[in-house]
Amino acid sequence: MPKRNNLWANIDWVTVLLFFALVFMGWLNIYAAVYNEHYQSIFDTTQRYGKQLIWIGAALTIGLIILLIDTNFYVFFSYIIYGFLLFLLILVLFIGKDINGARSWFAIGSFGFQPSEFMKFATALVLARYMSSYGFKIHNPKSLATIAAIIFTPVLFIFLQNDTGSALVYFSFVLVLYREGLSGVVLFFGTLVAILFVLALLVPNLVLYIVLLAIALLAFFIVNTKLIQFTRVLGAYLISILALFLLNFLMKKEYPLAGIVMAGVLLGSVIVLLVSWRNRIKNYSLIALVLLGSILFTLSVDYAFNNFLESHQQARINELLGIESDPLGAGYNVNQSKIAIGSGGAFGKGYLKGTQTKFDFVPEQSTDFIFCTVGEEWGFLGTSVVIGLFLFLLMRLIWLAERQRSSFSRIYGYSVAVILFFHFTVNIGMTIGLMPVIGIPLPFFSYGGSSLWSFTTLLFIFIRLDASRFDQL
């Protein structure tokens, strides 16, 4: 039986150790990324590794302070912290400094502060507070609306700062909501939307419509194997398409084939939906509805892609999907990043021996592309170890969250895990060409005070909550 009152005995030292390991390895790689024969002292604060040492020292202080603060502080002050950071988030729009086209930084002398980094833990706290409140029911429309408001208010302002990467992080909360009882259908549709988004840009529309129709027909067949019903559905679609095709021909209009097929599938879906609705065949109306929605969604993706995204964002997505290849333009970062990682081989080129790293071929190498240094100088061995450590940390956090007695701690713990997971996935995915280049840091690894402190805060609040798990009844 652990001692209830001894804070230090109840701290999960495994997590703390993982934290130290990642921060230390991160610093080693930052040193390598900016290494230069002329500045060899590791305490040289004109260099990034020197500064990062200061940030690390400060982060440890922050961690210690967090551990010393009573857990109730976070519960009681969650709304105030959230409100204060939201204020900063709005303020930065007016007095912030433009860096790389995003206005998300306060510049205080040579020191920068990014409120959107800290907004993450504040949002997690408020979400935990709200969802752990008495009588909370997740599928209550009012609850859903409140959750949406909590999550999307910061997202809105971060989008306004033109910092798409940081804004997308908040979508990872969907996993927390899922754990807390949100219907799996939401996850399913989330995944469907993501896949459709990619396909809409990648596959010719005609092919996409036919594939969607084929999948829907398969679904119709599976949910009801009676041949007569299936034939009716098939007939509805085929006749719709054929009729529109003939109409186009007879009226001497010259609509493209893809448009006719799309209209036919839409028409067919509407017919199937109406008929099955009237006959109370719930499965059929659902499938028809999903098909209808999917097609409308792909249409809107095309429209949004062409009309809402800026050209550099379009270029990056096109590059990622392999629609356009421009290794010296939009694809330059990723191409050089892949070269750096790929050239590391099994065991790497050796510490401080990476040529890609040393000669600045990868932009943003100490921040967003720090994983390249690991890949180049430590090889597959290094990348596996780093990924392994992250997996260990993430699994550990879930495991810790599940052992909490209070739902507040559990929800907060899950939030920490999924936020770290999102950063981990997008950042590493980006360096190996799996994700578009949206600049978000690798937790504990990337250079930068704001991000290190925000992740430290995020993690240590949970360590503190976990340490006092026995206090809760």
Applying CB under 8 A, the residues found at the interface with other proteins are 175, 178-181, 336, 338-346, 355-356, 358-361, 375-376, 379-380, 383-384, 387, 390-391, 394-395, 398, 402, 407, 414, 417-418, 421, 424-425, 428-429, 432, 434
Cβ proximity to other proteins: between 379 and 439 the closer is 379
Look at residues 449, 423, 436 and name the one whose alpha carbon lies nearest to residue 366: 449
* Tokens found for residue 287: 């499938």
Shortest spacing between CB 131 and other proteins, in angstroms? 12
Do 376 and 357 contact (CB within 8 A), yes or no? yes
Cβ proximity to other proteins: between 414 and 447 the closer is 414
Shortest spacing between CB 356 and other proteins, in angstroms? 6
**Residue 122 host element (H or E):** helix 115-131
Shortest spacing between CB 71 and other proteins, in angstroms? 21
Shortest spacing between CB 165 and other proteins, in angstroms? 17
Shortest spacing between CB 198 and other proteins, in angstroms? 15
Cβ proximity to other proteins: between 85 and 426 the closer is 426
* DSSP secondary structure code for residue 442 in this structure: P
* DSSP secondary structure code for residue 106 in this structure: E
Cβ proximity to other proteins: between 181 and 350 the closer is 181
Shortest spacing between CB 443 and other proteins, in angstroms? 14
Cβ proximity to other proteins: between 259 and 429 the closer is 429
Look at residues 402, 417, 343 and name the one whose alpha carbon lies nearest to residue 374: 343
Look at residues 464, 453, 466, 410 and name the one whose alpha carbon lies nearest to residue 119: 453
Can you say whether the dihedral through the CA atoms of 342, 345, 351, 356 is positive or negative? negative
Cβ proximity to other proteins: between 206 and 394 the closer is 394
Look at residues 219, 211, 190 and name the one whose alpha carbon lies nearest to residue 281: 219
Do 349 and 376 contact (CB within 8 A), yes or no? yes
Those residues with Cβ within 8 angstroms of residue 298's Cβ, 6 or more apart along the chain or in another chain: 196, 199, 200, 205, 208
Do 348 and 28 contact (CB within 8 A), yes or no? no
Do 420 and 426 contact (CB within 8 A), yes or no? no
Cβ proximity to other proteins: between 379 and 449 the closer is 379
Alpha-carbon span 13 to 32, nearest angstrom: 28
* Tokens found for residue 167: 């804004």
Cβ proximity to other proteins: between 29 and 298 the closer is 29
Shortest spacing between CB 179 and other proteins, in angstroms? 5
Hey, how many other C-beta atoms are within 10 angstroms of the C-beta on 73? 13
Shortest spacing between CB 333 and other proteins, in angstroms? 12
CA angle 96, 93, 318 (to 5 degrees): 95
